[in-house]
Amino acid sequence: MLFDHSAFADIRTTGEEIMKPLLTGAVLILLSGCSYLGHQQSVKTLAYQCGTMPLTVTIRQGSESSSQADFLLDGDRHALPQVASASGVKYSDGTYTFWSKGNHAFIQRGERVIVDDCALR
């Protein structure tokens, strides 16, 4: 009994032709997932005690080193972008400034300190 192997050669070629695009597609999906994960935002919540007033500040670290400090003060939400600082970490929108160094922080409105003596709890 003779067996014709040429029929299997056609199936193998067809299988390879199907697998190459599937593998390429799978690799592209995996790489796009890695790219998406690289752009996720990091969020850190810091709890300060400023004299008798508690203050919660949320630091959002986005893609490309953009960072923002969010906090609620006198019923108003403030979202301050990070700005250059000679010492510590400074966030300001031009009116309000949140400045922290180590475990301590304060808030300014213009040039005047309005919340002082903040320490991480």
What pLDDT, in 10s, does the model give residues 44-58? 999 999 999 999 999
Q: Which is higher by pLDDT, 30 or 16?
A: 16
**Is residue 31 very low, low, confident or very high in pLDDT (cuts 50, 70, 90)?**
very low
Per-residue pLDDT, averaged over 108-120, amounts to 98
Residue 83: what pLDDT? 97
Would you say 68 and 74 are in contact if contact means Cβ atoms under 8 Å apart? no
**Per-residue pLDDT tens digits for 75-105:** 999 999 999 999 999 999 999 999 999 999 9
**Could you give the C-alpha distances from 95 to 48, 60, 91, 107, 110, in angstroms and in order?**
21, 20, 11, 10, 5
Per-residue pLDDT, averaged over 107-121, amounts to 98
- Report the alpha-carbon distance of residue 65 to residue 61 in Å, rounded: 7
**Average pLDDT of the chain?**
82
Of 7-21, 22-36, 75-89, 94-108, least confident by mean pLDDT is 22-36
- Report the alpha-carbon distance of residue 95 to residue 56 in Å, rounded: 19
